[in-house]
Structure 1
Amino acid sequence: MSDDTYEIFLQAPPGLEPLLAEEAREKGFAAPAPVPGGVTTRGGWEEVWRANLELRGAGRVLVRLGGFMAFHLAQLDKRARKFPWGDVLRPGETVRVDVLCRRSKIYHAGAAKQRIETALEAFGAVIAQGGDETDEADATAIAIKVRIEDNEVSFSLDSSGDPLHRRGTKQFVGKAPMRETLAALFLRACGYAGREPVYDPMCGSGTFVIEAAAIAAQARPGARRDFAFERLASFDPARWRKMRDAGAVALPEGLRFAGSDRDAGAVAGATANAARAGLEGLTAFRHAAVSDAAPPEGPKGLVMINPPYGGRIGNKKLLYGLHAALGETLRRNFEGWRVGLVTSEPGLARATGLPLKPWGPPVPHGGLKVTLFTAPPLD
């Protein structure tokens, strides 16, 4: 396996890049630096594998392969054919090419894409049909990202394949679910580090509860799924198995992670999701209305909620009463607990009557902009 080092780009939702940089620093990645849309670091292929395996907040892990200057299509064609694709790709592998052109003499992305695809075919790669990363036919293709800016052509490779919020354990998905990667970053924003209980009174498919339990157990998010990097020329199956299988899940003493929901189907689905993640011993879900939410036994911790909001589920005018009831229940039953609440509607956060304040900027989620609101320990 090559010992070359590359620039590694860890994707993050806009506004949450510093949180991902903090996580990468804690995990020992080299000088992680927040940049718009993600975090940059450097490392060899084993660090690429480890980023996919261990980072809870990264959406994808891209590898900057290199590039060259090109001022016209003929030059792009010639230099793309000479690019050392064999250092990374195996002949016969299916690839998808995505091109972005900005401020360059080569301004037609479609023409540039065609030249690069021809160069890859000359190397021996198979070009995916459709060319759109949302196409089902393209789902297994390795994505090559091409950026042509100021006449500089740069190639990146998506080492993840499926986005990293797909941990390989969630089969039940409730209405308007929170992505696991975003849930992990919001938990971090609330100061959660795996040493206190977490409760979600509107748990849906259990994302916040399961993610919190996994953090406490030091379970690695990528240990139960496959990655695109496993099909690259640089891949060493024996070294990967050793990395993936190292370390056992540690169940922390005295901590429990719980959720409730008025939908019995959601409770059953969340329970099954936790079992597939190997966390059934740390989590508990029950069927209950918001007004009946109660904390688990043990120390006080964090209430983490992704409640319905108008643009996402139902009519928001009908949700003010629900949020008021939520606030009343939390004040009555969760004294001393901190609160994190995600919503696209600041008015709904205010309707709880809790001392919630926005943490950071709105974040894109499911076609909306959502904001994390936090409250100190309730009194």
Structure 2
Amino acid sequence: MDTAELEIFLVATPGLEQPLLAETIRNGFAGAKQVPGGVVLHGGWPEVWRANLVLRGANKVLVRLGSFPAVHLAQLDKRARKFPWGDVLRPDVPVRVEATSRKSRIYHAGAARQRIERAISDTLGAPLAQDAPVRVLVRIERDICTLSVDSSGDPLHKRGHKAAVAKAPMRETMAAMFLHECGFDGAEPVLDPMCGSGTFVIEAAEIALGLPPGRSRDFAFQQLATFDADEWARMRQPQDTAETGLRFYGSDRNTGAVETATANAQRASVDAVTRFRQAAVSDIKPPAGPAGLVIVNPPYGARIGDEKRLRSLYGSLGKVLMARFSGWRVGIVTSSQSLARATRLPLIAPGPVVDHGGTKIRLYRTDPLH
């Protein structure tokens, strides 16, 4: 297995492939290409580690180990036993195998999984476990079996420094991509008037300070045979954080949310540049200093009848922004075009439909208000 040129697949949130590609290129990953479901690039294991450490928009980093044709289970079994598992997996680290099959003569994914599990445990001696830290993925499509390993472990939106979550949270990976789609690059203030657990504000502050999103957590690749602890320690060494004179603001009418957001910002080491306070939408004012970005993920009702009540909330948000936030841009993430329009803000063409845990949402934006 040539590990110098691994195929690395970055899993995107459906609808956010384009900003993930832009971020990947911006971070100097060579030859990145958008494909259905994410971004593909090539490189060695250090690039796998770096992708997990620095990319804000990827949900997972999968590494393709190899592929071979298999039209029946006996053939799959034989090929799996010849596969050089020891190049990547460690005999002392438990493994979990997951399999899918599409348009293939091997149609039973469970039977395929068992064959791969047995091949790994018989040839390598690695134990199998449901809660194993290492996950091997088997995809059989049109009679070609592709083997990959999940290098991330926990999904990458789990940054490792956020304990408390308000209800209906925006995932960090999505928040970072929506900030990017609003043109945010760390050089302007951000305000979220319905901040919940503070995700938009904290992500914006981390971007401005140049803090890598994966700095506080562990990854599955640390349990692989290819892991080099010294190289990883070098990669993780704190860079000089960027200086910023900017502040990032969140407010919420719920005191519990404000306390949660404040604690989360502290754990993420961005408390010096973030400010959270309790305030109703009608009380928000632009902070002193330059204009920037107001970004908000207001409630969007799932039940019929919610919309009427919410329309007045969106309406008052729009009124306050038009009256007080001249020069600021606005980004609103919602599932309903009619709610976005209820703000009466001068919206430009909305972004693509994004799948937020089964709810279809979009980003609605404005140019600077005047």
Distance 1:284 1:297, change over 3 A: same
Does the 8 Å contact 2:29/2:41 carry over to 1?
yes
The equivalent residue for 2:259 is 268
- Whether 1:155 and 2:155 are equivalent positions in the alignment is no
Instruction: Tell me the percent identity.
Output: 60
The equivalent residue for 1:320 is 311
What CA deviation, in whole Å up to 9, does each residue of 1:186-227 have, x standing for no partner?
A: 111111111111100000101001101110111000010000
Distance 1:334 1:61, change over 3 A: same
The equivalent residue for 2:215 is 223
Deviation at 1:29, TM superposition (A): 0.3
Q: For the residues of structure 1 that align with 2:303 and 2:281, how far apart are their CA atoms?
A: 19
Deviation at 1:3, TM superposition (A): 5.2
Q: For the residues of structure 2 that align with 1:314 and 1:26, how far apart are their CA atoms?
A: 44
Distance 1:258 1:312, change over 3 A: farther
The equivalent residue for 1:132 is none
- Whether 1:145 and 2:137 are equivalent positions in the alignment is yes
Distance 1:42 1:313, change over 3 A: farther
Deviation at 1:358, TM superposition (A): 4.3
User: What letter matches 1:51 in structure 2?
Assistant: A
Query: What does 1:156-195 align with in structure 2 at a 5 Å threshold?
Result: 156-195=148-187
Instruction: Please report the TM-score for the alignment, with normalisation by the length of structure 2.
Output: 0.97
Deviation at 1:313, TM superposition (A): 12
The equivalent residue for 1:354 is 345
SS of alignment partner, residue 359 of structure 1: coil
Does the 8 Å contact 2:202/2:274 carry over to 1?
yes
Deviation at 1:121, TM superposition (A): 1.1
The equivalent residue for 2:119 is 119
Q: For the residues of structure 2 that align with 1:366 and 1:330, how far apart are their CA atoms?
A: 29
Query: What does 1:271-286 align with in structure 2 at a 5 Å threshold?
Result: 271-286=262-277
User: What letter matches 2:184 in structure 1?
Assistant: Y
Query: What does 1:79-94 align with in structure 2 at a 5 Å threshold?
Result: 79-94=79-94
Deviation at 1:16, TM superposition (A): 1.5
Does the 8 Å contact 1:261/1:287 carry over to 2?
yes
The equivalent residue for 1:21 is 21
Q: For the residues of structure 2 that align with 1:312 and 1:26, how far apart are their CA atoms?
A: 41
User: What letter matches 2:129 in structure 1?
Assistant: A
Report the aligned-residue RMSD.
1.5
Does the 8 Å contact 1:263/1:287 carry over to 2?
yes
What CA deviation, in whole Å up to 9, does each residue of 1:76-127 have, x standing for no partner?
A: 0011011010000000211111111112221111111111111011121222
Does the 8 Å contact 2:314/2:339 carry over to 1?
yes
From 200, 219, 240, the equivalent of 1:248 is 240
Q: How many positions carry a matched residue from both structures?
A: 368
The equivalent residue for 2:361 is 370
What CA deviation, in whole Å up to 9, does each residue of 1:293-335 have, x standing for no partner?
A: 1122211010000000102899232111111110011111111
User: What letter matches 2:362 in structure 1?
Assistant: T
The equivalent residue for 1:208 is 200
From 331, 338, 344, the equivalent of 1:340 is 331
Q: For the residues of structure 2 that align with 1:313 and 1:257, how far apart are their CA atoms?
A: 35
The equivalent residue for 2:30 is 30
Does the 8 Å contact 2:348/2:367 carry over to 1?
no
The equivalent residue for 1:56 is 56
What CA deviation, in whole Å up to 9, does each residue of 1:210-258 have, x standing for no partner?
A: 10111011100001000000000011111111101141322312x1100
SS of alignment partner, residue 187 of structure 1: helix
Q: For the residues of structure 2 that align with 1:312 and 1:91, how far apart are their CA atoms?
A: 51
- Whether 1:12 and 2:12 are equivalent positions in the alignment is yes
Q: For the residues of structure 1 that align with 2:39 and 2:175, how far apart are their CA atoms?
A: 18
From 211, 221, 229, the equivalent of 1:237 is 229
SS of alignment partner, residue 271 of structure 1: helix
Q: For the residues of structure 2 that align with 1:159 and 1:371, how far apart are their CA atoms?
A: 30
Uncovered stretches (5+) of structure 2, i.e. residues with no partner = none
Does the 8 Å contact 2:15/2:355 carry over to 1?
no
SS of alignment partner, residue 296 of structure 1: coil
Does the 8 Å contact 2:311/2:342 carry over to 1?
yes
What CA deviation, in whole Å up to 9, does each residue of 1:15-65 have, x standing for no partner?
A: 211111111111110111011110000111100000000000111000001
Deviation at 1:357, TM superposition (A): 3.5
User: What letter matches 1:125 in structure 2?
Assistant: A
Runs in 1 of length 4+ with deviation above 3 angstroms? none
Does the 8 Å contact 1:310/1:317 carry over to 2?
no
Uncovered stretches (5+) of structure 1, i.e. residues with no partner = 130-137
The equivalent residue for 1:128 is 129
Q: For the residues of structure 2 that align with 1:30 and 1:365, how far apart are their CA atoms?
A: 29
Q: For the residues of structure 1 that align with 2:32 and 2:303, how far apart are their CA atoms?
A: 34
Q: For the residues of structure 2 that align with 1:314 and 1:283, how far apart are their CA atoms?
A: 36
Does the 8 Å contact 2:133/2:223 carry over to 1?
no
User: What letter matches 1:341 in structure 2?
Assistant: I
Distance 1:33 1:175, change over 3 A: same
Distance 1:226 1:357, change over 3 A: same
Q: For the residues of structure 2 that align with 1:85 and 1:314, how far apart are their CA atoms?
A: 56
Deviation at 1:68, TM superposition (A): 1.2
Q: For the residues of structure 1 that align with 2:193 and 2:361, how far apart are their CA atoms?
A: 19
Q: For the residues of structure 2 that align with 1:297 and 1:314, how far apart are their CA atoms?
A: 39
